[in-house]
Amino acid sequence: MNGGIRPLFRPEQEQIVLGYTHGRAGIAAVPGSGKTYTLAHLAARLIHDHRLGPDQEVLVVTFTNTAVNSFQARIARILRENYGLLPIGYLVRTLHGLAHDIVRERPALIGLADDFIILDERSALEIQRDLVIQNLDEWWDRLSGYVNPGTDPKYARRQFEQELPDLIARFIKRAKDLRREPEYLYAALDSAGSEFDLSRFAVHIYADYQRSLAYRGAVDFDDLVRYALDALRLDDRFLLRLQERWPYILEDEAQDSTYLQEQMLHLLSGNRNWVRVGDPNQAINTTFTTANPRYLLDFLEQPGVIERPLSVSGRSAPPIVALANELVRWTVEEHPTPELRDAFDLREEQHIRRGWIQITGDGDPQPNP
């Protein structure tokens, strides 16, 4: 560190910030271990060390707009206070924001007009809900077979109107994450040899929804990543230009990335400089997207990937840390349902059990309360 304020690092953080220079790296981090702090300092150090050309940037990818704002402010402050540099040489985006940037540069590659619009989530859900309500009368005789005998018909209809739109929205999101078009799903249902009326209704709404998007000249958030992935795969020169623009990719909250999002970053990294940080024992989004911590765990096991831990946390008091660790241990070793014992990952890396929270030591900048 030249001039300015010398930051305080835990040993694990220092190993990452000062030790990483290139290649693929995976960081298994526990809650409160300073992921944002560490990644922000790493981005600033890569910029300071002149590892970028005149038109290049460190690309930082995170999950929420709030996290984007936090990273931007932190990196700018570190560059200014620690290195005396202007806040340039980096780009912070959400995964969907990055996908939007890619699609917006070459919309014609995937059959979109230059003036395509992005439908926000609320508008998308409203369209899907309207389609469900509009089609319910026509489909009711087939769907009423899912109602328990003896249920009041009016009550059953109200329940369908209240709950079916959310179910259909989840179905469409998952189908898009898996790159399954309505035509594919219709064919799969036909080959299954059974009616599956609720599934057919869901595919029918999915097809109507896609036609509605096409009529508006719009895409939704779930379309963006798959369209970005298609654009990168269709034009090698376009992909190479983006790889040159972003020679380093730092990914935050990697456990929340879907398969398609992971593939997008894999292509952009060119199998070169990609740092993935996440908590393999956290799974907030797996219930409503195809995100799965298994993708991060598989990445950590790939040949050539350097694994580093962020296992020390000062967020909680030691009794709470002990309770959390015991719950994880009990789940892995003693849960009465054997199929659930692999819900957490506790293998050892550098003599530290992955996912096991360590309390802070003496002189830590953020000690346990």
The pLDDT-based confidence of 288 (bands split at 50, 70, 90) is low
| Whether the Cβ atoms of residue 30 and residue 313 lie closer than 8 Å to each other | yes
- 351 pLDDT more than 70: no
Q: What is the mean pLDDT of residues 64-74?
A: 97
Asked if 56 and 244 count as a contact pair (C-beta separation under 8 A), the reply is yes
Q: How far is CA 168 from CA 121, 268, 297, in A?
A: 14, 32, 30
Of the ranges 156-165, 246-255, 330-339, which one carries the lowest mean pLDDT score? 330-339
**Which percentage of the chain shows pLDDT scores above 90?**
79
Q: What is the CA radius of gyration of the chain?
A: 24
Residues in a beta bridge with 218: 117
SS3 of residue 368 by DSSP = coil
- Tell me, what's the pLDDT at 212? 97
In angstroms, the first-to-last Cα distance of the chain is: 30
CB contact at 8 A, 15 and 312: no
Q: Which residues of 60-86 are buried (b: 16+ CB within 10 A; e: fewer)?
A: bbbbeeebbebbbebbbebbeebbebe
| pLDDT (0 to 100) of residue 174 | 92
pLDDT digits (tens, 9 = 90+) for 172-182: 999 999 999 99
HSE (side-chain half, CA atoms, 13 Å) at 239: 17
pTM for this prediction: 0.89
Task: Give which of 58, 118, 71, 65 is closest to 94, Cα–Cα.
Answer: 65
- Name the pLDDT band for 1 (thresholds 50, 70, 90): low
185-207 residues labelled b (16+ CB within 10 A) or e (exposed): bbeebeeeeeeebbbbbbbbbbb
Q: How far is CA 155 from CA 78, 147, 160, 166, 310, in A?
A: 59, 10, 9, 18, 52
Q: Work out the percent of the chain whose per-residue pLDDT is above 70.
A: 94
Q: Calculate ∠ Cα 340-342-348, nearest 5°.
A: 150
pLDDT at 276: 98
250 membership: H or E segment, kind and range = strand 248-251
The predicted-structure confidence for 93-129, as pLDDT tens digits, reads as follows: 999 999 999 999 999 999 999 999 999 999 999 999 9
Report in angstroms the alpha-carbon separations of 232 from 177, 220, 242, 304. Answer: 17, 19, 9, 24
Q: Which of 116-130, 275-289, 339-353 has the highest mean pLDDT?
A: 116-130
Whether the Cβ atoms of residue 100 and residue 117 lie closer than 8 Å to each other: no
Q: Where does residue 275 fall: left (phi above 0), alpha (psi -120 to 50 degrees), or beta otherwise?
A: beta
State the average pLDDT over residues 267-282. 93
Domain spans of the chain, in order of start = 11-104+224-315, 119-216
Contact 119, 88 (CB under 8 A): no
Q: ∠ at Cα 133 (130, 138), nearest 5°?
A: 130
**Predicted pLDDT of residue 8:** 85
Alpha-carbon distance 1 to 48, whole Å? Answer: 9
Domain 11-104+224-315: state its class: alpha beta
